[in-house]
Every structure is written in C-alpha cells, then in structure tokens.
Structure 1
Amino acid sequence: TNVDLLIRSDDTGRPLPPATRTKLLGNMKAQMQELTVLIGDLLQLSRPDSPKPVRTLSVVAVHEIAERAVERAKLRGPGLVFETSTEPWFVHADAAGLERAVINLLDNAVKYSPPGGTIAVRLDQGVLTVRDHGPGIPQDELPYVFDRFWRSPSSRQLPGSGLGLSIVAQTVREAGGEVSLGPAQDGGPGALATVRLPGGPSPD
C-alpha cells in the first residue's frame, strides 16, 4: 500500500508532504525487515522436527513494544479507533520475536475489525489484552487458532498465511508466558487475545 501511494503521488504530480513521505519510507523499511525475519520463521515453523532457532534473550520493555505496535496498526487501519492503556512491564525474552508477536496480534485485530471499529489494547501487571469488535471466532474453531497454517473457513478469502498466531504462541511460550484467544468477555461482538508474560514493572 505504501509503495502504491508513493507511485501514485509521483504519477499524478502531487508530491506528498516531506514528513509523510519520510514516515512511509520508514514504515516500508520496517516491514521489509519484518518480512525477512518472517520468511525465516515460516521455514522454521514448516519443519516441525527441526531444532528450535537460537534466540538472543534480553530484558524487553513490553509497554514500549505495545505502543510501537499500536502505531503500526494505526497505519494499517486508518479508519479504526484505538484505545490504549499500558503500564510498565519488563520481561526476559527475544526482543525482535516478541515485538513481531505483538504486531501479529494487532494485525489480526485490524484485519477483522469493521470500518470505524474500536480496538482496545491494555497492558496491566504483565497481562496484555487486544480486544476487537469484529465477527469473533466460532467456538468450534478455537482449538485450532494457534496451529501452523490453519485458517478459518470464513476468513480464507482474506490475506494471510495462517502463521501469524502460531508465531505468537511459540514466541510467548519461549518467553515463559501463556497466550489465549477467545470471545470478548463483556458479551459484545469481537475477539479477545490475552498474553500473560512473567516479569516485573522495572527492568531490574
């Protein structure tokens, strides 16, 4: 989308504001870096008998990751409303992998949200929740949502590889945490993703 926007700007002779162009190019670079790592993950996840890749673990600020992921999600869902509340939380994990996992959760919420819908992102005491107001997940499909390459029959016309949530699950487990996905708990429409990560409110 960013490439098409830049090309259309040049073709029509209507240059984008410098700040907007710089932001688009920065976003494209970040997406290319994500794609490079995602290809490696795809190859790794497609070989269930291969050894796990070596991860570089460090102290990671989950609240900063969540805030960056929300900013990325806003670019991909410009008509959506984001309600964000994050408290400081630090965890020992693979920083790049964890950031990609959170981005995957936000991407999933954006993809299934209706136009003008709301996505609520909360981080409180190491519990990260992402709640959308889309169609939700049928009860009989919940056991399969974190399986590799699995895609809901109702969403196979949408873009995606079926790897996003399996990458989330693997990354969270490697950080010693737990992840779940189910219906919204307030009785309204949509899905609720919950990630619990061990850690603390300070990096020490």
Structure 2
Amino acid sequence: MLIALISDIHSNLEALQAVWEKIRGADAVLCMGDIVGYGASPNEVVEFVRKEMERRTFLCVRGNHDNAIAFGVDWGFNPYARQALRWHQRVMSVENLEFLRRLPVRQIFADDTGRRYLLIHGSPRAPLDEYLFPWLPEGEFRNVLSYVRQDDLLLGHTHVPMLKVVEGRRIINPGSVGQPRDGDWRASYALIDTETGDVTFHRVEYNVEESARKIIEAGLPKFLADRLFEGL
C-alpha cells in the first residue's frame, strides 16, 4: 500500500496540481490541514480537495488557517496572515466555508498492515497551534507521543519536513505543498510504503510565477508572493 502525505497547501493551486501529478496513484492521501490561507486560489483548492475526497480514500484535518477563515477568528496572526485571512473570508463561497467548518481536528487512519495513524495539524497537546520543529529535544517528541495511542503521528503546521522515530513509533511531517519554509521553494510531500515501511520525502517544481502573480493581482501583501521564491 502506498500512502501519500500532504499538508499546508495554503490556497496554492499550482503547487497542489504539481504534487497531485506525483501522488495520484497512491492508495490513500492523508492531509494534515491548512488547505487555505496566504495564497490566492482558496475556492479552487477547496473544490479540488472536495472532489477528490468523494472519489477516493482522502482524509483531511482542519488547520489553524482553515479554522480562522471558517469561523472568522483572526487574532494571534501576523499582519500579513491576518490580511490574507480576511480576504479569504470575503471571497470564499458559502459552500467552501462550510466544508472547512466540517473538517475534524483529528482523524485516525489504519493501513493494510494494521498500523494506525493519528492525523493532526499542530500536535496532540494543541491541535491547531503548537509547532513541533525537527530541532526540538528528543524529550519533547517522547512527551508528545505519550498523548497518542496510535502507532504513528502525522502532522503539519511548521512547513518543514520531518521524520522522528521514537522506540519504533514515528512522527512524520511531509512539509508544505504550497508554502515551504525550509529554504527549498519546491512543493513538498511524503510517501509511506507499507510493504517496506519506508518513509520518503519528495519535492516537485511548480509554476511559482503564476502563484505569485495571482497573489499580487488579488491585492494581497507582496511579501506573500515574494516568499514563495525563497522557500521561507
């Protein structure tokens, strides 16, 4: 069984389409949230996800940007993010906002070997908001796993790919599809091969110029377009 892991699309349709070309043959797609926010194609991205969820095994949880846009809560965000959130609230369709509201904060998935995964955006301690960066002390990851009954923890939020193995249990972050922040601008995703147990991380180029152009034409902060080229 091949499982594709994606996260933090952030309304970047061009990046999502490029990743999808690589993962469309996977047996399951697991998304760790933040479908929207920052970028300029929120309705198109949500409609893409909605359609694929109807066709195949595709699980998705709600991220902090999804939550803020869906429920109109934008406190705690930086000025660039807040401006983008308010723009999303204005331009998104009622149906797509309702879809975001219905996304669960947690999901559980079992693969063909019986291994079980907990999907969450931030961490089990703070599902929407906690950042689990790869450079944190190992004790932090042990503590996080004490909140998890499943075998593995899948998360996003940091926009940085990560694999941590603690006594045979894995914490996996596939990085960001739509706004990587590890110095590599290319869209990021991960694959799990349940036959071998391997977790592999992948990058794919996409039409970043088009994504940036849309952001600027929408009147969103130019910073949100510029950062796409830097992966920061």
Same fold (TM over 0.5): no
TM-score of Structure 1 vs Structure 2, range by shorter chain: under 0.3
The structure with higher relative contact order (CA 8 Å, sep 6+) is 2
Which is higher, the Rg of structure 1 or of structure 2?
1
TM-score scaled by structure 2? Answer: 0.22
TM-score scaled by structure 1? Answer: 0.24
Which structure features the higher share of helix residues?
A: 1
